[in-house]
Amino acid sequence: MFWTLLLALILLLLLQAQLLVCLHELRASLTSVTSATPSGTSNASTLQRLPGAIIIGVRKGGTRALLEMLNLHPDVEVAKNEIHYFNLDENFRKGLDWYRAQMPVTLPGQLTVEKTPGYFTAPPAPKRIWATNPAVKLLLIVRDPAERLVSDYTQVLHNRIHQNKPYQPLEELLLFQGHINPKYKALQRSFYYQHLARCCRRRRRFWSFHLR
């Protein structure tokens, strides 16, 4: 028991160190990021600014925990809800002013962070993100892909049971005529290499936190 607690403490300290490095680099990039703020506004005022960093995934990978830990820093303000601006066409058509209006109010020098795990697996999201703000930083947190799949299924199962909706066993969703069903969405979300290949075509840098 003692060694388990000690190992957990060491892992938490390592994660804290990674987060501090991440925040330092994010703050260093604020000069270029805040250039996306509307022109003609005062630097001394509080504004709703475009995010300087976006947590893009993965679903069921610990993105909420990462967002809450970043939000503990006084120089970070986070969007409370998942906005789904870059992955849902109906939201993207609402335009950049609508997107900015979903952000928290920040002081000069503070960093805005948004979290929408759906961006990582959405084909149009990377191009839209870079076009909106080439200086934005993307944060990606992953876990064992098999564990992530089971966690994904468990959440959907819980919701369907709570809503009195029918559900299928996991093995029926994973298998089709005795073979792996590649169309199962929860399985597709765990094909990290496919989504990373799309996101990295523009040779951008990612911070990747492996928690599990």
Question: Is the pTM higher than 0.85?
Answer: no
pLDDT at 32: 47
204: exposed, middle or buried (Cβ count in 10 Å: 0-12, 13-18, 19+): middle
For 95-126, the pLDDT digits (tens) are: 999 999 999 999 999 999 999 999 999 999 99
Q: Answer yes or no: are the C-beta atoms of 128 and 88 closer than 8 Å.
A: no
Residues lower than pLDDT 50 in the chain:
31-42, 209-212
- Distance CA(121)–CA(59), nearest Å, equals 9
Q: Which residues line the annotated binding site for 3'-phosphoadenylyl sulfate? A: 60-64, 143, 151
Q: Which residues line the annotated binding site? A: 60-64, 143, 151
Q: Structural domains in the chain?
A: 47-143+192-207 (3.40.50.300), 145-187 (no CATH)
Would you please indicate which residues are annotated as catalytic (active-site) residues? Answer: 60
